[in-house]
Amino acid sequence: MRNHLDPQVLHYYDPRARTPIEEGMFFTVEPMLTMGSPDHVVWPDGWTAVTVDGRRAAQFEHTLVVTRDGAEILTIGPDGRP
């Protein structure tokens, strides 16, 4: 089951990744912090991901929109708080 749409923005270099980022596109940045192994498995529900060693982990995300002038973070309010 696939829950995200193309383009996938990789967090590593891949010379095959050539999809341009264009005005009007939306992206999420989804860092995951782990106390143990960064390796993960996805449960049969196709959505839940856990570390292979079962240690604590935390994930959060921000949503961005590409504008003519750059990008705007939509998950931060005018006061600078999420």
The answer for 58, left when phi > 0, alpha when psi is -120 to 50, beta otherwise, is: beta
Query: What is the full DSSP assignment across 32-55?
Result: EEESS-S-EEE-TTSS-EEETT--
The one-digit pLDDT tens for each residue of the chain (82 residues) are 455 666 677 767 788 877 788 899 888 888 888 898 888 888 999 888 888 998 988 888 899 999 999 999 999 877 887 7
Q: Residue 24 has what pLDDT?
A: 92
Q: Residue 1 has what pLDDT?
A: 44
Domain residue spans of the chain: 1-9+22-82
